[in-house]
Structure 1
Amino acid sequence: MARLARLCAVSIVVAAASALRPAPEQNKSTVAPPSRDPFYETPDWAHTVKPGTILKQRNLPSGLAAFGQSFDKHFQYTQQILYRTTGEDGSASATILTVLVPHNADYSKVVSLQVAEDTASIDCAPSFGFLAASADYPALDAPTVKVHLLLAQAAFSRGWIVVIPDTAGPKAVYPTGTSAAYAVLDGLRAAFHSAPMTNISSNASVGLWGYSGGGSETLDAVRVLPSYAPELHITGAAIGGISPFYTDLADAIAVLNKGPAANLIPVALLGGTAYRPDLREALEKALKPEFRKHFFSALHQCHDANKKTFYNDDILSMFTDPQSAISIFSNASMSPQALSTDMAPKTTPIYWYQLEEDHLVDSSKIIQLVKKWCAAGSHIDFQLETYSGLKHAGYGLVGAPSAVRWLAGAFEGRAERGGCSNKTVSTPQIEPHYSNMFPKQLQANMKLFVSRV
């Protein structure tokens, strides 16, 4: 996997040290999206180096912002790192890691935050979506991605270094599979290699965190850890609201079709065939001609624009045979790299938080999966949220404080016990100590977000 030209790799890291000096914020109108930014391109020689090797690095080309608020003041420095990873087909690939180092940094604690992109476009990667410049591109402006900066603040306010990998990779795979898991683990390798830039301790404790699609990626990373990156020790992983495609595909499509989240069907079919041109061609042929342009528009928009485009659409009626949509995605999911739910995570303690009345995720099936894995030897602390006034996305914010508390306990060694635990809670609002981290207007927006989505 890795014939490393050692001198080249060392020179990359040493030269990177000069990038520590904060650069003045550039005019955001000059910032190109990933599909037009040469920094995102995988070098031809990437296959000659080991996964996790740093290929390029730079200061962020624009400030960080979400919901009208700049986040730049929270960090002593930030970086984007292009690093070598492994694609869904096993080939050499590369993706971006965003590194956020707060002013009060504890260099012995690192959290990898996986973002729910829910998209089939590389232009929707969090490395771009977190930038203030992304607002210049309406179809690419993604509040669903930006809300993860609010999650990140719960972590970096404790001094933890936060790293965010672009898990969908250069081909924008969705639902993400093993390539996303590899991107998470290789991102951690790159983070440790970045010590000359970031001062991350060589023996730093590592936590993983992800909600919704990001939760699925986090869970997959934990499951492939023993075989793909056995040298990494993950102290604990917090996951919540995992992707509806994680349990039963046919049921998920039936639930999503004609609903407010119908956009996830074309995104899943386009993202799921990203590495399979034969299936992408079959997908195009299976669509009725009058719907092809509409369907493929999902390739050029991020989640929030796609949600508006496909809101309540009968996606299955766009196919000459509705069953062909399920068949195409099933074939894409049956790749040799696909993970089976029989593969229980046993090496890393997990905190799993799930909304009981989740319109996107069947909580009863999640409970069954947790029981199955606990019986197989997993360590899962499971928390079921019963408050009926919450929805899937809003619970991502409401559940964040409990996830961070659990990770803090894991960093202190309190997640090393064996076995599983179950807890039921009712949380009607965002915990005040969390919402009070933000300006008043943003607090109001957060409450509105929770009440509506």
Structure 2
Amino acid sequence: MSVITGDRTRHKGLRVLAAAVGMAVATATTLLAGGMNAAPAAAVVPPSQDSFYQPPAGFEAQEPGTVLRSREVRLAVLTVLPLNVRSWQLMYRTTDLFDQPSVAVSTVILPAGADPNRSRPLVSLQFYYDSASPDCAPSFVLQQGAGLPGVEGIHSQSELIALAALISQGWAVSIPDYEGLQGHLAVAKEPGYMTLDGIRAAERFQPLGLAGAETPVAMWGYSGGGMGSGWAAEMQPSYAPELNVKGIALGAPTSDVVSLLHVNGSMFASLIGIGIASLSKAYPKFHDATYAHLTPEGQALMDRTNAQCLPRNALTQMFVDYQRLLTLPIADFLALPEIKEVFDATVLGSNIPTAPIFLYQGVFDEAVPVWTNDRLSQRWCAGGASVQYTRDHLSEHLTLPSLGMAQTFNWLKSRLAPNAPDQIGCRTDDVVSMLADFNALLSQIEINLNATFGALGFPIGPRER
């Protein structure tokens, strides 16, 4: 492991980071934008008011992954500037946390001009939307005209760099609402089921032109999206063994929900409220035990949290002390049988993935403790999984998505390459920073841009591969 010495090195690194992130956002926007003078789009109604999201009668009789309905949609940067892609929403049959039939919605995407008669890999990209409100789901906030206000609208675009990189390769992309129609963040199993069934639905959706279960598949998610991807990794061998999964990339996944309590009173304190509010929606006994020990102020906070997106919760719940909102000590609350049972069930590591894993984590992550994913890697490796684990000593939770993106993207390319060799065994790498490959990612995107469109001001899109 290398060691950083002195403030001068660190400050230089942060300046490089700021410049790189700015370049990445600009490049991603340019890559995906379909025109700078787009006409205003009609307002899009949120899922809670949209009949498309209502499960059709008799859906329970369909097998998991069956497409129940579909519609073509327009995606946009900041809900205004159209993305130069073809995209659809799919409602599909899936399974909930109690192993009962349910439904979910995914947004599936093809590069502009893609030939649907040519086979291509599929990447399932799990956004970190981290909200118990279904009106914050990617299928809504990515649509042109969705119109989320202020910082909430900006947050919904924060993973466009990853989407741009995937589209630049000519791959198909699935972005599932893996929290389902009820906003079940942080629950056990269900995010995995909904991610895997989103892949099944995409493979069955004829306009994408995929090769069915033979389609090479990868998954990628960070933070809450890493948690969803982690459940997909663990559920896939038993729930969807037919999928041709070549690799799963997980960035700082929330692999132990109760560990988030260490952020109590910090700038990340909202993660506690979001997790407890969501689990209260999902598990009736957890709800009753929680609300029985919340003060009236605490109950009102949980109700507000369930109705808001991540940025608003993050800004309004900074430095909240949740002990003040409970009528008993936090340790006693966690010891309640109805609470402990749920938190124990939400810990990743009990089921062993069979697909190759790339796991990356900031050593100084303030939100997701590094020890949780050290343990996850150890558990999976002890069970026979193949895990390439990178521990970044410069990054924390908010910078690692950018710093770690290029190395992750290059790993995905290596896994989806034809005749890629198997990833065997486990390896842990301690690095100063994953930033080294960031310029390579930008260069790859820009090469695809320049090869396709040479004139400034024309619609920009990826090269068909």
TM range (shorter): 0.7 to 0.9
Q: 1-side partners of 2:391 and 2:398: how far apart? A: 15
Deviation per CA, 1:263-312: give whole Å up to 9, x if none: 11121112112232343233223211234223310011100000111111
Q: 2-side partners of 1:31 and 1:113: how far apart? A: 23
Confirm or deny: 8 A CA contact 2:405 2:438 kept in the other structure: no
Residue 67 of structure 2 is matched in structure 1 by 54
Deviation per CA, 1:394-444: give whole Å up to 9, x if none: 2112211111111111112445132112223324578234346589xxxxx
Q: 2-side partners of 1:354 and 1:397: how far apart? A: 12
**Matched letter for residue 201 of structure 1:** A
Q: Compared with structure 1, are the counterparts of its residues 374 and 332 closer, same or farther at alpha carbon in structure 2 (3 Å cutoff)?
A: closer
TM-score normalised over the length of structure 1: 0.82
**Matched letter for residue 331 of structure 1:** E
Corresponding position: 1:399 with 2:411: no
Q: 2-side partners of 1:321 and 1:26: how far apart? A: 55
Corresponding position: 1:31 with 2:44: yes
Residue 93 of structure 2 is matched in structure 1 by 84
Residue 180 of structure 2 is matched in structure 1 by 169
**Matched letter for residue 368 of structure 1:** R
Work out which of the residue numbers 325, 330, 336 in structure 1 matches 2:340: 330
Which structure 2 residue ranges, 5 or more long, are not aligned?
1-33, 450-465
Work out which of the residue numbers 109, 112, 117 in structure 2 matches 1:100: 109
Residue 43 of structure 1 is matched in structure 2 by 56
SS of alignment partner, residue 273 of structure 1: helix
Q: 2-side partners of 1:416 and 1:86: how far apart? A: 31
**Matched letter for residue 42 of structure 1:** P
TM-score normalised over the length of structure 2: 0.80
**Matched letter for residue 129 of structure 1:** V
SS of alignment partner, residue 272 of structure 1: helix
Residue 185 of structure 1 is matched in structure 2 by 196
Deviation per CA, 1:47-84: give whole Å up to 9, x if none: 01111000110111x53214x873512x1x11000111
Residue 315 of structure 2 is matched in structure 1 by 308
**Matched letter for residue 423 of structure 1:** D
Residue 294 of structure 1 is matched in structure 2 by 301
Residue 198 of structure 1 is matched in structure 2 by 208
**Matched letter for residue 129 of structure 2:** E
Residue 5 of structure 1 is matched in structure 2 by none
Q: CA RMSD in A?
A: 2.5
**Matched letter for residue 359 of structure 2:** W
* Greater relative contact order, per chain length (Cα 8 Å cut-off, separation 6+): 2
Q: 2-side partners of 1:430 and 1:418: how far apart? A: 23
Q: Compared with structure 1, are the counterparts of its residues 45 and 127 closer, same or farther at alpha carbon in structure 2 (3 Å cutoff)?
A: same
Using the TM superposition, give the Cα deviation of residue 137 of structure 1 relative to its aligned residue in structure 2, in angstroms.
4.3
Confirm or deny: 8 A CA contact 2:222 2:250 kept in the other structure: yes
Alignment length, in residue pairs? 401
Confirm or deny: 8 A CA contact 2:361 2:392 kept in the other structure: yes
Q: 2-side partners of 1:427 and 1:49: how far apart? A: 44
Q: 1-side partners of 2:139 and 2:190: how far apart? A: 17
**Matched letter for residue 147 of structure 2:** A
Equivalent residues in 2 for 1:256-405 (5 A)? 256-323=263-330, 325-326=333-334, 327=336, 329-334=339-344, 341-345=349-353, 347-387=354-394, 390-405=395-410
**Matched letter for residue 31 of structure 1:** V
**Matched letter for residue 79 of structure 1:** W
Confirm or deny: 8 A CA contact 1:167 1:176 kept in the other structure: no
Confirm or deny: 8 A CA contact 2:257 2:347 kept in the other structure: no
Residue 426 of structure 2 is matched in structure 1 by 420
SS of alignment partner, residue 243 of structure 2: coil
Q: 2-side partners of 1:340 and 1:422: how far apart? A: 19
Residue 4 of structure 2 is matched in structure 1 by none
Corresponding position: 1:124 with 2:129: no
Which structure 1 residue ranges, 5 or more long, are not aligned?
1-21, 440-453
Q: 2-side partners of 1:321 and 1:30: how far apart? A: 46
Q: 1-side partners of 2:194 and 2:240: how far apart? A: 11
Using the TM superposition, give the Cα deviation of residue 26 of structure 1 relative to its aligned residue in structure 2, in angstroms.
8.9
